[in-house]
């Protein structure tokens, strides 16, 4: 493991912050981010060229104007804007791909103040000791509702059981070096589930624990439906094991049916007539349900293939608060 602690020059850090309709929290959390960045600069842990890069994800409110104002007030703030709302994961990708050539190391963080900025120092320290990826893991979920906690736990278990590799209680608060991003740029998929994909890139990694707070203002954009969508995307973009389970189920059911056929034939030959309408109906309904579910799962994969084959751009940057080539 290479130790960077002796390097004379401090690394350039880009903090990537996706924002979607966040006019209420932006003024509050921008102070927090800047404060932390300045502390790290003073401690000589990062270069003064470090930046907080906001990614406006096609917000319908005043978010982009606030970002532009911030960038005029302090050179440490910069911003890019997506041409329309593409979702959290694509906004992160846009920021990461934009930043990878401009800096040595990135940290992605939500803009609502839920992830404590204090963990950044520990992340940078881990990077200096040679880690290329540092995962922020919340050490308690006391601020989440029981329902959110329970569903999240089920989700991590399920993903890992079917062959994905997701770190428990890690969301999208993480440090990645530009070296990792360079490699990650070759992962061309449009079905993005970053927390499942980054472990696939490999390299030396570490976990840093932090406290997760309540949202400072505004409200969450992840409704139950969106959360379910992300979970489903996560599972189907990381593993094809659900398809395998369906095939195995098919084999098992066929085998049982085959035994059933023999049993029925013997019964018919002996002249026993069967009066089992209720049991027949139950079995028919059940099988019908299972079949539709299986077709749905297969359809989900075909849908993913369809989207991947189009090779459409995963993000489109419409505006920047700076001149990318002149930076």
Q: Residue 108 has which token pair?
A: 């992605």
Q: Which of 138, 154, 135, 137 is nearest to 146 (CA)?
A: 154
Task: Give the shortest CB-38-to-ligand UDP separation in angstroms.
Answer: 21
Sign of CA dihedral 199, 203, 209, 214: negative
Cβ atoms of 106 and 136 closer than 8 Å: no
Residue from 45, 51, 76, 88 touching ligand UDP (CB under 6 A): that is: 88
Options 30, 108, 114, 169; binder of ligand UDP; rule CB under 6 A: 114
Residue placing its CB nearer to ligand UDP in the complex, 63 or 236: 63
Q: How far is the CB of 311 from Mg ion (least distance, A)?
A: 31
Asked if residue 148 binds ligand UDP (CB under 6 A), the reply is no
239 binds ligand UDP (CB under 6 A): no
Nearest CA to 70 out of 117, 37, 115 is that of 37
Q: Is 91 in the site for ligand UDP (CB under 6 A)?
A: yes
Kindly state the number of chain residues that form the binding site for Mg ion, as judged by CB under 5 A. 3
User: d(Cα 300, Cα 169) in Å, to the nearest integer?
Assistant: 26
How many other C-beta atoms lie within 10 A of the C-beta of residue 307?
A: 13
Structure token pair of residue 147: 């329902």
110 binds ligand UDP (CB under 6 A): yes
Identify which of residues 111 and 131 has a Cβ nearer to ligand UDP in the complex.
111
Hey, which residues between 112 and 171 contact Mg ion (CB under 5 A)? 112, 114
Residue 79 CA: distances (Å) to CA of 262, 321, 323: 70, 5, 11
- Check: CB of residue 142 under 8 Å from CB of residue 215: no
Dig out the tokens for 317 from the structure: 């940057």
Q: Which of 10, 22, 36, 104 binds ligand UDP (CB under 6 A)?
A: 22
Residue 178 makes contact with ligand UDP by CB under 6 A? no
- In angstroms, rounded to a whole number, what is the distance separating the alpha carbons of residues 63 and 69? 10
**Is residue 57 close enough to count as binding Mg ion by CB under 5 A?**
no
Instruction: Give the chain's length.
Output: 327
CA 24 to chain centre: 24
> Is 220 a binder of ligand UDP (CB under 6 A)?
yes
Rule CB under 6 A: choose which of 206, 221, 304, 314 binds ligand UDP: 221
Name the residues that contact ligand UDP, by CB under 6 A: 18-20, 22, 57, 85, 87-88, 91, 110-112, 114, 220-222
Name the residues that contact Mg ion, by CB under 5 A: 110, 112, 114
């Amino acid at each position: 493991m290479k130790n960077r602690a002796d390097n004379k020059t401090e690394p350039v850090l880009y903090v990537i912050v996706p924002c979607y309709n966040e006019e209420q929290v932006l003024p509050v959390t921008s102070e927090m981010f800047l404060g932390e960045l300045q502390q790290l600069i003073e401690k000589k842990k990062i270069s003064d060229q470090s930046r907080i890069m906001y990614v406006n994800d096609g917000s319908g409110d005043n978010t982009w104007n606030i970002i532009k104002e911030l960038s005029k007030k302090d050179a440490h703030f910069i911003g890019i804007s997506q041409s329309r709302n593409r979702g959290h994961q694509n906004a992160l990708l846009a920021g990461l791909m934009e930043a990878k050539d401009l800096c040595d190391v990135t940290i992605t963080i939500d803009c609502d103040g839920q992830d404590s900025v204090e963990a950044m120092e520990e992340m940078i320290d881990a990077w200096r000791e040679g880690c290329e990826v540092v995962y922020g893991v919340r050490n308690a979920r006391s601020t989440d509702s029981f329902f959110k906690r329970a569903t999240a736990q089920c989700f991590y278990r399920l993903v890992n059981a079917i062959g994905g590799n997701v770190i428990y209680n890690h969301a999208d608060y993480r440090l990645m070096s530009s070296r990792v991003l360079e490699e990650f740029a070759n992962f061309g998929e449009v079905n993005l589930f970053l927390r499942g994909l980054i472990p696939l890139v490999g390299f030396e990694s570490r976990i840093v624990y932090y406290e997760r707070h309540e949202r400072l203002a505004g409200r969450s954009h992840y409704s139950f439906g969106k959360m379910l969508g992300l979970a489903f995307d996560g599972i189907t973009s990381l593993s094809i094991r659900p398809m395998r389970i369906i095939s195995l189920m098919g084999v098992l059911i066929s085998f049982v049916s085959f035994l059933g056929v023999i049993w029925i034939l013997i019964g018919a030959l002996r002249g026993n007539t069967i009066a089992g309408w209720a049991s027949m109906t139950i079995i028919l309904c059940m099988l019908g349900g299972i079949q539709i579910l299986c077709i749905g799962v297969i359809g989900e994969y075909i849908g993913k293939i369809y989207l991947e084959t189009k090779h459409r751009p995963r993000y489109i940057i419409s505006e920047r608060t700076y001149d990318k080539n002149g930076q």
